[in-house]
Amino acid sequence: MFTRNFYRLSKYLRKPCNKNACELRKLHISAALWSNQSPSRFEEKPEFPGSRSKFIHKLSFIQPDDIEGIPVYRVMNRKGEIIEESEDPHLDKDTVIKMYRDMTLLNTMDKILYESQRQGRISFYMTNFGEEGTHIGSAAALSLKDMVFGQYREAGVLMWRGFTLDQFMDQCYGNCNDHGEGKQMPVHYGSKELNFVTISSTLATQMPQASGAAYALKRKGKDLCVICYFGEGAASEGDAHAAFNFAATLECPIIFFCRNNGYAISTPTKDQYRGDGIASRGAGYGMATIRVDGNDVFATYNATKAARDMCVKECRPVLIEAMTYRLGHHSTSDDSSAYRSVDEAAYWDKQDTPIARLRYFMISKGWWDDNKEKEWKTESKQMVMETFARAEARKKPNPELLFTDVYKNMEWHIEKQQKAMKQHVTNYAEHYPLDNFERWKD
């Protein structure tokens, strides 16, 4: 009777998770002590605290090349046709049109702001060409209250949430309307209302922070999650490893969303990692994982939605690796023809972009056509140009702001330096670009 119940209980406890493994081990040990069966039956499983598995008696290594790569989940093919009807998220027309408009508006804004840097109007810019689907697909599956930690190529997430063209451009110009007070380079956006934590240039630093934020949200009990975006290059940083490990061990409701776009500046993925991308690492940390077609907004949407449910309901992290392709240069400081063929980028632009695939889908549903396309192109370009002119005309903030927010309250030594700066600049005014800035009160 004892053994029958023991095995029944033991089978239940075989569900893989640390708690159950511990319980199982305790059961085995006490059963071995009390049972009248021979002790050798209970030496079948290793009892080391550090692992859970069985013994093997023939020498063999796990060879990574023998393992099949993790498959890529997709809903639409390159022509925007739904492959498996059951996977169609059946999003309503308005949502799908918003998805399309946001991706294309971002695309238009990117083109114009990239040009503006070339003309010396803004100092720097990074485009999102080819990756718009990763932003929009994932953002659409989240709650506005979910916190977002990004890397730098996720402007579409902000676009989806309602960041205005003015806000984008004010930040790029660092003018007096910029909520970031002109302190950072262009594309380092942030928004408190939209729960998008301001971007910093250091790579992967946001990742373990995101794990911590998720822990705080869990303790608040608000059924919210955190999403943390990062590139396949940033995933090589030590901070990425820490982020995954902390999120898994501390049971944080966080979606780690990797944009694998093939390049980290000039470094192709073959120089970045030798394993099966980022997705293959997930299980190693104890995280649920999926690899997804990042150029398929529906697949990205489905995966993110399911991930969010797991996070919020089961309090555990999920890793999504979204495969995509970086059509543009790394930034305005980069010319990618130096390290990849123009043909390669042209191929992807022609064959597989999230924008084109969604458009094919919309056309097949009768929700879009060439006329609407033409109208929208004109309308969106005009919106961008008008905003652009406004942002450019605004002055930079008062130079006093150089010294604010180092601490919550300005410390004596910083105040002293602020006064010294003002005094100096007043005395040498003609050597400083004061006309471009708002004035301080004397």
Partner 1 sequence: MNLFQSVNSAMDVALGEDPSAVIFGEDVAFGGVFRCSIGLKDKYGADRVFNTPLSEQGIVAFGIGLAVAGATAVAEIQFADYIFPAFDQITNEAAKFRYRTGNLFDCGKLTIRTPCGAVGHGALYHSQSPEAFFSHIAGVKVVMPRGPIQAKGLLLSCIKEEDPCIFFEPKILYRAAIEEVPTGDYTIPLGKAEVVIEGSDVTMVGYGTQVHVLREVASMAQEKLNVSCEVIDLRTLLPYDLNTILKSVIKTGRMIITHEAPQTMGYAAEIATAVQEECFLNLEAPIQRVCGYDTPFAHVYEPFYMPDKWRLFEAVKKVVNF
Specify the DSSP class assigned to residue 40: G
Catalytic residue flag (residue 280): no
Specify the DSSP class assigned to residue 68: P
Catalytic residue flag (residue 30): no
| Smaller CB separation from partner 1, 197 or 345 | 197
Q: Minimum distance from CB of 408 to partner 1 (Å)?
A: 4
Catalytic residue flag (residue 330): yes
Q: Is 249 in the site for partner 1 (CB under 8 A)?
A: yes
* Nearest to 225, CA basis, from 233, 234, 216, 238: 216
- Farthest-apart Cα atoms in the chain, separation: 96
Position of tokens 């079948």?
44
Q: Which of residues 159-188 bind partner 1 (CB under 8 A)?
A: 178-181, 183-184, 188
Position of tokens 């040990």?
29
Residue 123: Cβ within 10 Å count: 12
Q: Is 396 in the site for partner 1 (CB under 8 A)?
A: no
| Smaller CB separation from partner 1, 190 or 262 | 190
Tokens of 303: 């995966």
Q: CB–CB of 321/278 below 8 Å? A: yes
Catalytic residue flag (residue 193): no
Q: Is 241 in the site for partner 1 (CB under 8 A)?
A: yes
Cα–Cα distances in Å, from 173 out to 182, 208, 411?
8, 30, 29
Position of tokens 């140009």?
385
Q: CB–CB of 168/158 below 8 Å? A: yes
Q: Which of 19, 58, 90, 408 binds partner 1 (CB under 8 A)?
A: 408
Task: Give me the amino acid identity at 182.
Answer: G
| Smaller CB separation from partner 1, 61 or 412 | 412
Q: Is 147 in the site for partner 1 (CB under 8 A)?
A: yes
Q: Which of 4, 54, 57, 219 binds partner 1 (CB under 8 A)?
A: 219
Q: Minimum distance from CB of 395 to partner 1 (Å)?
A: 16
Q: Minimum distance from CB of 103 to partner 1 (Å)?
A: 26
Name the site residues for partner 1 (rule: CB under 8 A): 147, 149, 178-181, 183-184, 188, 190-192, 197-198, 200, 202, 205, 207-217, 219-220, 238-239, 241-243, 245-246, 249-250, 404-408, 411-414
Q: Report, as residue numbers or ranges, the catalytic residues.
A: 115, 201, 330-331
